[in-house]
């Protein structure tokens, strides 16, 4: 290949950028110089400078290029690994089981309602309807029945910077990450709400009974043995204004404020007149004792209903006040972690 000076100078004149000839030739003459040389030769021989681009040679070359591209792409594209396949299968199994569990919970709720109705009926038939009111009150306290009323909605979410890998599948298996809501944060906030006079609290639709625990497993927050995903919506029934007034200057309110300032954890509080919290479907009859002065053979149903989480002794169990009466003494439970 004969080298032609790019700008027609003779090689004797030194260009000011002569020490950078490599870069200059790369940037100024990206086209292979041999094209120009071949064209010049053809011109000198009296032919057109360009040959046809429709020759067999060009076709074969382009065919090879296409083959190279396709083979390169297929050989080097990351293939779905066995681990990914297994992961997909596990995800689908978890989703199926979660759907199943939701359906079962609905059945359970319907059946418990039937049981309660039958209990009421049997009590009425035995001629002691004054117990019904007492049972109703105790059921509210034991979080066994859904409740509806005015209250607060407190939404807590991880910091925006922690969003990048906030998918459930990408949670790191260990280690503390700033900007993530931890179970301890939720415990403090929930206890603060109890202390502010909340009568019933649910997190992401899971009612907190007297034995429900807020714990962590890995990086996931577990409430009553069910993992939650962000954002965490805490619904607290009670006097909205009153609760807010007590909550915000309280320790939990200040703590939440600190979380926002230090770790950019997002939280918002909203009042509403019409909120519902579901009943704790895992509540079951645990303990029963006969009433003094019992009425005939009527079953004594003055009993405590507790959630299934009783006796786990796990760290950080939060306790709901057992008395449903509003205005009862605030019951901030000590939590440890």
Partner 1 sequence: MIPVLGLLAGLAIGLVIDPSVPVWLQPYLPIAVIAALDAVFGAVRAVLDGIFNDKVFVVSFLSNVIVAAFIVFLGDQLGVGAQLSTGVVVVLGVRIFSNVASIRRHLFKA
Site of interaction with partner 1 (CB under 8 A): 26-27, 30-32, 34-36, 38-39, 42, 49-55, 57-72, 74-76
Task: Report strand pairing: 206-207 vs 200-203.
Answer: antiparallel
Instruction: Please state, in angstroms and rounded to a whole number, the distance separating the CA atoms of residues 132 and 137.
Output: 9
Contact 207, 199 (CB under 8 A): no
Instruction: Please state, in angstroms and rounded to a whole number, the distance separating the CA atoms of residues 241 and 247.
Output: 10
CB of 17 to partner 1, least distance (A): 16
Nearer to partner 1, 69 or 251 (CB): 69
CB of 7 to partner 1, least distance (A): 16
CB of 57 to partner 1, least distance (A): 5
- The dihedrals phi and psi of 168, each to the nearest 5 degrees, come to -60, -35
Nearer to partner 1, 37 or 108 (CB): 37
Nearer to partner 1, 29 or 93 (CB): 29
Nearer to partner 1, 61 or 160 (CB): 61
CB of 72 to partner 1, least distance (A): 4
Nearer to partner 1, 75 or 82 (CB): 75
CB of 3 to partner 1, least distance (A): 15
Contact 215, 316 (CB under 8 A): yes
Closest by CA to 210, choosing from 127, 83, 59, 318, is 318
> What's the gap between Cα 110 and its chain centre?
28
Nearer to partner 1, 24 or 271 (CB): 24
Residue 150 zone, left/alpha/beta (φ > 0; ψ -120 to 50; rest): beta
Q: Which two tokens stand for residue 186?
A: 């939720």
CB of 13 to partner 1, least distance (A): 25
Closest by CA to 192, choosing from 141, 272, 257, is 257
């Amino acid at each position: 290949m004969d080298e032609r000076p790019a700008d027609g100078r003779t090689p004797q004149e030194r260009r000011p950028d002569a020490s950078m000839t490599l870069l200059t030739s790369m940037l100024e003459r990206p086209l292979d110089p041999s094209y120009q040389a071949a064209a010049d030769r053809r011109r000198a021989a009296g032919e057109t400078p360009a040959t046809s681009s429709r020759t067999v040679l060009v076709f074969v070359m382009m065919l090879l290029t296409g083959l190279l591209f396709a083979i390169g792409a297929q050989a080097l594209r990351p293939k779905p690994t066995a681990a990914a396949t297994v992961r997909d299968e596990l995800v689908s199994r978890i989703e199926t089981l979660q759907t199943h569990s939701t359906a079962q919970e609905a059945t359970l709720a319907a059946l418990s309602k039937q049981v309660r109705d039958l209990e009421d009926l049997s009590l009425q038939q035995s001629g002691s309807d004054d117990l019904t009111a007492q049972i109703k009150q105790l059921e509210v306290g034991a979080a066994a029945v859904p409740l509806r009323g005015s209250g607060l909605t407190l939404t807590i979410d991880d910091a925006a910077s922690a969003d990048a890998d906030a998918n459930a599948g990408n949670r790191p298996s260990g280690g503390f990450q700033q900007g993530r809501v931890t179970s301890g944060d939720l415990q403090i906030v929930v206890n603060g709400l109890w202390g502010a006079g909340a009568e019933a609290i649910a997190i992401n639709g899971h009612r907190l009974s007297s034995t429900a625990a807020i714990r962590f497993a890995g990086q996931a927050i577990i409430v009553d043995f069910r993992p939650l995903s962000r954002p965490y919506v805490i619904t607290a029934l009670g006097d909205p204004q009153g609760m807010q007034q007590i909550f915000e200057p309280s320790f939990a309110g200040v703590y939440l404020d600190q979380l926002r300032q230090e770790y950019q954890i997002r939280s918002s509080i909203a009042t509403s007149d019409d909120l519902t919290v579901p009943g704790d479907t895992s509540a079951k009859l645990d303990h029963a004792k006969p009433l003094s002065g019992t009425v005939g053979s009527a079953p004594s149903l003055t009993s405590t209903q507790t959630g299934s989480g009783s006796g786990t002794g796990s760290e950080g169990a939060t306790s709901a006040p057992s008395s449903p009466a509003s205005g009862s003494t605030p019951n901030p439970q000590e939590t440890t972690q």
